[in-house]
Amino acid sequence: MSFPELNPIRRRVIDALINTSAGPDAFRRLGVRPSMADAVARNTRVLELPAIPAEDLYIGPLHEGLDASRLSAVAREQAGTSVVVVSSLWGALRLTDRIPSYRLIVYANLVGLGRLEPIWRSVLPDLFAAVAGPDGLIVDLRSGPYTAVGMPAGQQHRTVSLRIRYAAPDGGRIGDVVAKRTRGEAAHHLLESGKDPDEPDELADILADRWPVELEPPVGPTGTWTMTLSIPD
């Protein structure tokens, strides 16, 4: 797997997940309903399950929008070196890393570990910064709790957080599923563009080929650039 420096924490999280999933309070600690009993039971055998590429395992709306399997050969090669997937169990992955199926949200309360955000936040910001290298932009597609594992350390000035706005005339609001899928589509569009923007304005120009774009500069010393894509009714 990519990022072997994360293996010590990965082992701790895996052990805690197995112990938690086997406990009488597994549903409460994992934040799932009893209807997910089969998935929780599989957690206890996570190291015995067959592994498949992360791009095939993760099928949520963000990954659906990214649609990695349909990237051109050139874009796919770019994705292999530039896309980092944040995982509650593994910390960080590449799309081609092979992993087993599991059920774990980042705000689960695992036996002996508690919530996972502070654990991963102790190592992921430095890893993100190292992976990004010294130049270019970092495009953050995350939403919700997964932003709590940290931003690239010391790189807020070149990090662009992507947001989605529903452009309905009546002011209607967009659902989270659609927002995630659109962020994935934006990543697909950027990869297929064949461009590697160095400045937020350059990124805005690329995405403006498909969506109306608004760009806001960082606010405060720890703020990031914010790019908002508007989608039509």
Task: Render pLDDT for 40-74 as a digit per residue (tens, 0 to 9).
Answer: 999 999 999 999 999 999 999 999 999 999 999 99
Question: What pLDDT is recorded for position 140?
Answer: 97
Q: Average pLDDT for residues 200-220, to the nearest whole number?
A: 95
Write out the two tokens for 29.
């600690």
229 pLDDT more than 60 = yes
Question: What pLDDT is recorded for position 109?
Answer: 97
Question: What pLDDT is recorded for position 146?
Answer: 92
The residue among 89, 87, 59 whose CA lies nearest residue 177 is 59
- Which of the four pLDDT bands, split at 50, 70 and 90, describes residue 173? low
* Cβ–Cβ < 8 Å for 30, 103: yes
Q: Report the C-alpha gap between 13 and 78 in whole angstroms.
A: 30
Mean pLDDT of the chain: 94
Question: What pLDDT is recorded for position 169?
Answer: 55
Question: What pLDDT is recorded for position 143?
Answer: 85
Question: What pLDDT is recorded for position 176?
Answer: 86
Question: What pLDDT is recorded for position 232?
Answer: 77
Q: Are strands 159-166 and 225-231 parallel, antiparallel or unpaired?
A: parallel
80 pLDDT more than 60 = yes
Q: Average pLDDT for residues 130-151, to the nearest whole number?
A: 93
Write out the two tokens for 221.
């010393």
101 pLDDT more than 80 = yes
Question: What pLDDT is recorded for position 139?
Answer: 97
* Cβ–Cβ < 8 Å for 135, 152: no
* Cβ–Cβ < 8 Å for 131, 155: no
Rounded to a whole number of angstroms, the distance between the first and last alpha carbons of the chain is 41
For residue 93, what are the contacts with CB-CB under 8 A and spacing of at least 6?
1, 2, 3, 54, 84, 85, 87, 99
Backbone angles phi and psi of 54, in degrees to 5 = -55, -35
What's the pTM?
0.92
Is the pLDDT higher at 221 or at 196? 196
- Which of the four pLDDT bands, split at 50, 70 and 90, describes residue 221? confident
* Amino acid letter for position 144: G
